[in-house]
């Protein structure tokens, strides 16, 4: 399939590579071109601007935040200009519930199609094409996107025909992940002050009710304090929590754990710098207990 | 093995039955005798009082709270009087970190042995001998207890030779469970206000990073609002959170999620009564969002 | 003095009236003109657009939020176009820390002066010229603004020469007010469940350590449930808490009470509607206790 | 009046001295006798034990916590033995809601009278006889106690005839005080990170809506970091918050700020030791912001 791919960061690069590997004709674009080098060598083409990438008829965006999506969308050389009538924009970035609502309206105005398909998984999963894809949008458009989405992930979830729902579920999932890790760290810190070894603690919880990737993976990271380099930086996680909070505000839903994880992230960034992984919130929790 | 078993509640009854089934000679005692009927029919003997149960040389307690443990321990007909020199008390109840420390000293004064071996699992797991047992105490005493513990559970974790550590880890595990369910409900409620079906939401989260019994089991319970009869009542969960808070206070460890889950339990009990399952905290979260 | 006044809402109208009464020549502008009628009768002039109001050389803005300020600032007929070189913009609205930083840069680029002078007080205080004014900006510009500011308020605080500080202190003050009232309601609700009358409770706390306007005024409002019509609506308070949170995020400062008051506001709005006063968060607190 | 006075700590000593000064015949008792020296020199008599102090017919207790009250109450030489029929026990300590309920029953069983009359104020206020007294109990018994209570304080509040209400209101008042100071510190810390001086911040807030002793006194203490020696130690404040939490649990009332102040106290104690004033929770808040 001809497809444009916009955004070649930690996640976007391996994803675009998997599309090439699966035999799709991929036109890539990134704000800083040098990120595209490997992909071009592997067979991707370089688009001169977002509009040109979108001319492929189907275009994927995988960008850092709302501002980056807005920036590639608009303007004379923007995605919205290049995407043909009935062309499909697949937004895989973690963006706000609000922006997703706007994208629905924006593309509808121009007779374009829109699917939100954010992903769950860290860069390793992107590389291994083991992402989970949470898609929402018109059924026929998800069908159209499916050959691309299945080249990127191990499983595709369909959440109905309103794209913003997929973005919201992605934010909710990140919130639950941060809350899970935060609760684990609070518990480990308490047990630790009584002399219980982190590894012994983890063996019990992941061997019983919490036998889940979230607890296993982050239990390891935290026990060995592998907070740098960041797989998913604390400021990015903070941004996701802000977007979750904005959706909670719009939808009038209290979320009492949200303030706690947000504050732990703020503390972590204030004390350990902008470059740590979000799981370094463990350092904040421990410090607060005098550990 | 000869063993006394004190406490025939929701959990204790099936546990004692499994000991009988495994061929042990079990002397049971319970404050209200009628709970023992089935067990006697199955081959257990009735002890006239805790002291007599303890005379078996090894005695298990499985009681509702600290007060109940203190009540069977002391007095003329108490466990501490009946248990012989070098006799072993295996405390499987969810008791406070502080009481466990006292039991260590109390039994040491009398030349008796003490192992804490609280369990993870609901009554169904007790029945099926599928509990997880988290044990701490002198190694040789856990060895001594092992034939009993393995008759009750699917797996035995050893946490070293200080019994209170096992009680603390059990409390931590309950705290994590409540926090996990609370975070899931907060997220589901938010997504629900945007029109995402609970079942679709659960499929995504339990199909990805939260593929764990905690999320699956409680996701089901909450979606179908199966809060009565209580498998584990809200007031009991509140008690566990109080004990967790007491340990946190003693050990000087902040636990910011603790106040939140405690308040949700209080709200649930205030509005839905004392007899609901703790997972009914979902009702509090939903109500607060106007759902 | 010649002065433009933009924004004739609950607060702006009485403020503009006080400027007229003090003998200043006031050109008013408001998006919906009919709000200006009384002022014109009292001697104010009508400006055709924000630019014309700003041509007075000194212009005050008293608007509902950041968007409203941005809307009057920019465009062909905007404040920034009309304000002469060395003209002074006095921003009295409760705006974000971030927008205030932008206004500093924006006006500097055009050789204009900028003072932030947000106010503390409800509409009754605006009417009685009893507002407190918290000003920051270049000293000579605050001197220049002083005849206007003293016509509006009972006291002027000077916070140095960086305007955003005044906006931040105003947000902090609102945060403290919501936290104070929330804590009072939590305490009153607890005492109420033991049978302590709200009035008796208030007599003790306002008669001892909390002998302050914040507690007296809101104690009365809450005891008599005077939540409608709103003097300061819950959605506006929610906006202020969002701005406080945004500043906390930018400055990397955890604020654990913030999530709590925000959630109580959300719950209040979800259950009691958009039109209640923010102090109706008392209803949320009581409901959560089953009162 | 003949009166026994039990408990000669930071608060009790100046209180007993004020009773002597007012012309009452005071029999003092304290666990460690040397604390009584000054009082004996001033004209007080020494009681050999709590029972002897209570034989005065009216006895005041001013002790550190529930355990201390229980300890002087019971036993062969306890207050309950010495207090005659119709004798009056005035409990001025900050004790739990639950213990107050028990004292009601205990004294009723023996035909003795009971009034709870906890005080608000720091040791300086005790010295200056400027305490606030919050009393509850049978009206005629408060009348009986009044000559004593007015010798100790500047104002007497009456909260009806159920003593536990006075204890609960006292706990609520402490909770509100901690919450007020905590909110002020959170706000000052945020403003401080933007460069706002603490003194300038305090001038605004205490000059406007927060013109109350709570904010003035603690604003000063915090700005000048006068956390040692403790006027009211962090562990004692933590105890009060635990008692507040216990009452909230018994009465089924959520108190979301409670966990926050409790955690700040725990962090303060964990990092700054057991001997700091409770207002040192400011250090925790600042540290968490990287200040």
Q: What is the pLDDT of residues D13-72, one digit of tens each?
A: 999 999 999 999 999 999 999 999 999 999 999 999 999 999 999 999 999 999 999 999
Structure tokens at B157: 């974790």
Across the interface, do B173 and A183 touch by the CB < 8 Å criterion?
Answer: no
pLDDT tens for residues C118-174? Answer: 999 989 999 999 999 999 999 999 999 999 999 999 999 999 999 999 999 999 999
**Helix D66-73 to helix D97-109 angle, to the nearest 10 degrees?**
10
Model confidence at D122, pLDDT cuts 50, 70, 90, reads: confident
Q: What is the pLDDT of residue D179?
A: 98
* Chain B contact probe: residue of C280, C288, C289, C291 with most B CBs at under 10 A: C288
Locate the chain D residue with the closest alpha carbon to A271: D290
Cβ neighbours of A50 (radius 10 Å): 27
Instruction: Tell whether C248 is within 8 A of chain D (Cβ).
Output: yes
Structure tokens at A232: 């998913």
Stretch D225-246: mean pLDDT: 96
Check whether A157 has a pLDDT greater than 90.
yes
Structure tokens at D218: 């603690």
Q: What is the pLDDT of residue D104?
A: 98
Closest partner CB to C271 (pick from B270, B284, B290): B290
* Chain A contact probe: residue of D234, D258, D270, D286 with most A CBs at under 10 A: D270
pLDDT tens for residues D202-217? Answer: 999 999 999 998 999 9
Among A162, A160, A206, residue whose Cα is nearest residue A184:
A206
CB-neighbour burial class of residue A118 (10 A; exposed 0-12, middle 13-18, buried 19+):
buried
Instruction: Tell whether C243 is within 8 A of chain A (Cβ).
Output: no
| C-alpha distance from A213 to closest chain D C-alpha (Å) | 30
Q: Which chains touch A (3 or more CB pairs under 8 A)?
A: B, C, D
Among B270, C121, B278, A194, residue whose Cα is nearest residue D209:
C121
Q: What is the pLDDT of residue A122?
A: 87
Q: What is the pLDDT of residue B25?
A: 98
Q: What is the pLDDT of residue B213?
A: 87
Beta strands in A7-99 (DSSP E): 25-29, 45-46, 58-61, 88-91
Check whether D103 has a pLDDT greater than 90.
yes
Are D6 and D60 spatial neighbours (Cβ–Cβ below 8 Å)?
Answer: yes
Instruction: Tell whether B185 is within 8 A of chain A (Cβ).
Output: no
Check whether C264 has a pLDDT greater than 90.
yes
Across the interface, do D260 and B256 touch by the CB < 8 Å criterion?
Answer: yes
Across the interface, do B253 and D266 touch by the CB < 8 Å criterion?
Answer: yes
3-state secondary structure of D67: helix
Q: Where are the alpha helices (DSSP H) in B129-233?
A: 139-152, 163-193, 198-206, 213-223
Q: What is the pLDDT of residue B21?
A: 97
Q: What is the pLDDT of residue C122?
A: 87
Q: What is the pLDDT of residue C196?
A: 97
Q: What is the pLDDT of residue A164?
A: 98
Cβ neighbours of D71 (radius 10 Å): 15
Closest partner CB to D157 (pick from C186, C187, C203): C203
Closest partner CB to B270 (pick from C263, C267, C289): C289
3-state secondary structure of A59: strand
Q: What is the pLDDT of residue A213?
A: 87
What is the spatial distance between Cα C197 and Cα C200, in angstroms, rounded to a whole number?
5
Stretch A272-279: mean pLDDT: 96
Closest partner CB to B290 (pick from C263, C270, C289): C270
Average pLDDT over all residues of chain A? 97
Across the interface, do D249 and B242 touch by the CB < 8 Å criterion?
Answer: yes
Stretch C25-33: mean pLDDT: 96
- From first to last of the 291 residues of chain B, give the pLDDT tens digit: 999 999 999 999 999 999 999 999 999 999 999 999 999 999 999 999 999 999 999 999 999 999 999 999 999 999 999 999 999 999 999 999 999 999 999 999 999 999 999 999 989 999 999 999 999 999 999 999 999 999 999 999 999 999 999 999 999 999 999 999 999 999 999 999 999 999 999 999 999 999 998 999 999 999 999 999 998 999 999 999 999 999 999 999 999 999 999 999 999 999 999 999 999 999 999 999 999
From A35, A170, A193, A239, the catalytic residue = A170
Across the interface, do A263 and C255 touch by the CB < 8 Å criterion?
Answer: yes
pLDDT tens for residues A65-92? Answer: 999 999 999 999 999 999 999 999 999 9
pLDDT tens for residues C164-222? Answer: 999 999 999 999 999 999 999 999 999 999 999 999 999 999 999 999 989 999 999 99
Length of chain C: 291
Instruction: Tell whether D188 is within 8 A of chain C (Cβ).
Output: yes
Locate the chain D residue with the closest alpha carbon to C260: D256
Across the interface, do B270 and C256 touch by the CB < 8 Å criterion?
Answer: no
Task: Tell me the β-bridge partners of B88.
Answer: B58, B113
CB pairs under 8 A between A and B: 208
Stretch A23-45: mean pLDDT: 96
| C-alpha distance from A153 to closest chain B C-alpha (Å) | 12
- Per CB-CB distance under 8 Å, the chain B contacts of C284 are 288
Instruction: Tell whether C205 is within 8 A of chain D (Cβ).
Output: yes
From C165, C170, C193, C239, the catalytic residue = C170
What is the spatial distance between Cα C181 and Cα C179, in angstroms, rounded to a whole number?
5
Among A222, A217, A237, residue whose Cα is nearest residue A285:
A222
Locate the chain B residue with the closest alpha carbon to C273: B290
Closest partner CB to D134 (pick from C184, C190, C204): C204
Stretch C236-249: mean pLDDT: 98
Locate the chain B residue with the closest alpha carbon to C284: B288
Instruction: Tell whether C266 is within 8 A of chain D (Cβ).
Output: no
Stretch A197-203: mean pLDDT: 97
Check whether D231 has a pLDDT greater than 90.
no
Q: Which helix (H) or strand (E) holds D9?
A: none
What is the spatial distance between Cα C169 and Cα D220, in angstroms, rounded to a whole number?
18
Q: What is the pLDDT of residue B231?
A: 87
pLDDT tens for residues D157-166? Answer: 999 999 999 9
Closest partner CB to B180 (pick from A180, A244, A256): A180
Active site residue B170: yes
CA torsion D165-D171-D177-D179 (nearest 10°) is: -110
* Chain C contact probe: residue of A242, A245, A256, A259 with most C CBs at under 10 A: A259
Structure tokens at C235: 């959605």
Report how far apart the first and last C-alpha atoms of chain A are (Å, whole number). Answer: 55
Locate the chain B residue with the closest alpha carbon to D270: B252
Q: What is the pLDDT of residue A35?
A: 94
Across the interface, do C288 and B288 touch by the CB < 8 Å criterion?
Answer: yes
Across the interface, do C252 and A270 touch by the CB < 8 Å criterion?
Answer: yes
3-state secondary structure of A209: coil
Stretch A126-136: mean pLDDT: 97
Check whether C17 has a pLDDT greater than 90.
yes
């Amino acid at each position: 399939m001809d497809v444009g791919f916009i955004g070649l960061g930690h996640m976007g690069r391996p994803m675009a590579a998997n599309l090439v590997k699966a035999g799709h004709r991929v036109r890539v674009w990134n704000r800083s071109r040098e990120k595209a080098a490997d992909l071009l060598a592997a067979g991707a083409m370089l688009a001169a601007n977002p509009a040109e990438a979108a001319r492929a008829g189907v275009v994927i965006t995988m960008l850092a935040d709302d501002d980056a999506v807005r920036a590639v969308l608009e303007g004379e050389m923007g995605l919205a200009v290049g995407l043909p009538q009935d062309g499909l924009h697949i937004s895989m970035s973690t963006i706000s519930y609000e922006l997703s609502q706007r994208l629905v309206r924006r593309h509808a105005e121009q007779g374009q199609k829109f699917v939100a398909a954010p992903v769950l998984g860290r860069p390793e999963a992107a590389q291994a094409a083991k992402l989970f894809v949470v898609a929402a949008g018109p059924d026929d458009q998800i069908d159209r996107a499916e050959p691309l989405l299945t080249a990127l992930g191990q499983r595709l979830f369909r959440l109905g025909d309103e794209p913003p729902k997929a973005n919201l579920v992605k934010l909710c999932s990140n919130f639950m992940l941060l809350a899970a890790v935060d609760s684990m760290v609070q518990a480990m810190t308490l047990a630790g002050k009584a002399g219980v070894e982190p590894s012994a603690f983890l063996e019990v919880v992941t061997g019983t009710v919490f036998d889940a990737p979230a607890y296993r993976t982050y239990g390891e990271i935290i026990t060995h304090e592998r907070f740098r380099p960041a797989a998913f930086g604390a400021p990015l996680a903070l941004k996701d929590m802000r977007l979750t909070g904005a959706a909670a505000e719009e939808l009038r839903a209290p979320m009492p754990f949200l303030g706690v994880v947000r504050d732990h992230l703020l503390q972590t960034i204030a004390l350990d710098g902008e470059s740590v992984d979000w799981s370094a919130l463990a350092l904040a929790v421990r410090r607060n207990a005098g550990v």
